[in-house]
Amino acid sequence: MKKILSIIGARPQFIKAAAVSREIGRRKGLTEVIIHTGQHFDHNMSQVFFEQMQIPEPDYNLGIHSLPHGAMTGRMLERAEEVMLKEDPDWVMVYGDTNSTLAGALAAKKIGLPVAHVEAGLRSFNMTMPEEINRILTDRIADLLFCPTQTALDNLEREGFDHFDKRVLLTGDVMYDAYLHFSDLRKAPTGLKLPDKFGLVTLHRAENTDQPETLKQIVEALNEIAEELPLVLPIHPRTFKVINHSKLPAMSNKILVIEPMSYLEVLYLLEKCFLVLTDSGGLQKEAYFAERPCITLRTETEWTELAEAGYNQVAGTRKEAIIKAFRGFVRKKPEFTSGLYGIGNAAKMIADAFLQPEL
Ligand code: UD1
């Protein structure tokens, strides 16, 4: 029996773990221990995902959150090491690009445990993003790298990964597996009167929320777009705090600002919306799965294949550019074809990989 110790902590990781933990649970030869670092802790940022998506209850919750990067990553590293020494797993598995990812990978490698990285090889080429630093360092020390896309595989090759003693596998994207599994269960948010036609907005990246001029440009663009298309904004706690404490232009009353939504509610909003505006990585793909055009409120994306296919306009953060991208999609909606993120068996491939005798 092989023991996999998984580390999760932030909202997108719960969605990914929902797909992978289910497959691990189905394999007789595998057992899983889950550490929740505590990075996300509000009920609707964490617990609701475990309940709705039947993710096994974490065996450990480290309760580490709301700290500066160094303190957060450092404390996670220390506490994760204690658990790893006690559990002595065969593999440590980390997801994505958050502080929880890097802390988990580093803790494992320092005590000689092999690391598997789900969502390996993504690059934004923007080294000012904490996520870019986290993913580059995690990839470099991981032993088994699961790439969601050919682009991710190519990135690793370009960085010389074929010269390192690592295994790199193209699996497809576990978020697509999650979408396929849960899309029929989508759930209307209770007590909300949604406009008939609307745009779905999310905004939380530090590079947007922590730069007053950038945030001002984005809010102004959203206010103007809302005159033509009402917007629905499930607001991330980070953005909520910043907006409440800064001197930004007021949000238009045509923007419906709501609490963070659960995964099944987001699937419902995606199904009903006309288009998506976001700085989230996950939502860019979910827009594509639901065949909705997406405007990315960043200057670059890791999911370049969406931009190349014309499904996603990487608009940047200037007001005029965001509005221009919006008008482009109002004039012409893209024709969607599927297949960019695999066939929905990424989690199966990941679980099977751990059972290969040479690993
Ligand atoms: C983190 C990840 C980011 C990911 C995102 C998903 C890092 C560096 N960033 O960003 O890659 O896209 O999660 O949401 O790991 N907060 C709450 N309640 C919560 C969670 C957070 O109030 O349940 C507050 C925190 O106290 C903090 C702020 O929101 O003030 C930001 O949280 P943090 O964990 O630092 O990063 P995210 O912005 O969520």
pLDDT digits (tens, 9 = 90+) for 43-102: 999 999 999 999 999 999 999 999 999 999 999 999 999 999 999 999 999 999 999 999
More confident residue, 232 or 248: 232
For residue 149, the CA-to-ligand 1 centroid distance in Å is 25
Determine the Cα angle at 36 with ends 33 and 37, to 5°.
130
With a 6 Å cutoff on the Cβ, whether 130 touches ligand 1 is yes
With a 6 Å cutoff on the Cβ, whether 204 touches ligand 1 is yes
> Does the pLDDT at position 175 exceed 90?
yes
Res 136: pLDDT: 98
Res 140: pLDDT: 98
Q: Per residue in 6-15, pLDDT tens?
A: 999 999 999 9
Contact (CB, 8 A) for 298 and 211 = no
- Find residue 116's DSSP bridge partners: 93, 144
Give 243's pLDDT tier (boundaries 50, 70, 90): confident
For residue 351, the CA-to-ligand 1 centroid distance in Å is 28
Q: How would DSSP label each residue in 11-45?
A: HHHHHHHHHHHHHHHH-TTEEEEEEE--SS-SGGG
With a 6 Å cutoff on the Cβ, whether 253 touches ligand 1 is no
Contact (CB, 8 A) for 65 and 38 = yes
Residues 6+ apart with CB under 8 A from 132: 97, 123, 124, 125, 126
For residue 45, the CA-to-ligand 1 centroid distance in Å is 9
Residue nearest to atom 12 of ligand 1 (CA): 280
**Active-site residue flag, 204:** yes
Q: CA nearest 152: which of 120, 126, 127, 177? A: 120
Give 138's pLDDT tier (boundaries 50, 70, 90): very high
Q: CA nearest 134: which of 295, 345, 281, 279? A: 281
User: How far is it, in rounded angstroms, from Cα 100 to Cα 126?
Assistant: 20
Catalytic residue among 36, 40, 117, 204: 204
Q: Per residue in 309-328, pLDDT tens?
A: 999 999 999 999 999 999 99
CA-46 nearest atom, ligand 1: 23
Res 47: pLDDT: 98
The alpha carbon torsion through 338, 158, 113, 95 (nearest 10 deg) reads: -30
Q: Per residue in 88-134, pLDDT tens?
A: 999 999 999 999 999 999 999 999 999 999 999 999 999 999 999 99
Residue nearest to atom 32 of ligand 1 (CA): 238
For residue 98, the CA-to-ligand 1 centroid distance in Å is 9
With a 6 Å cutoff on the Cβ, whether 39 touches ligand 1 is yes
Res 346: pLDDT: 98
pTM (predicted TM-score): 0.96
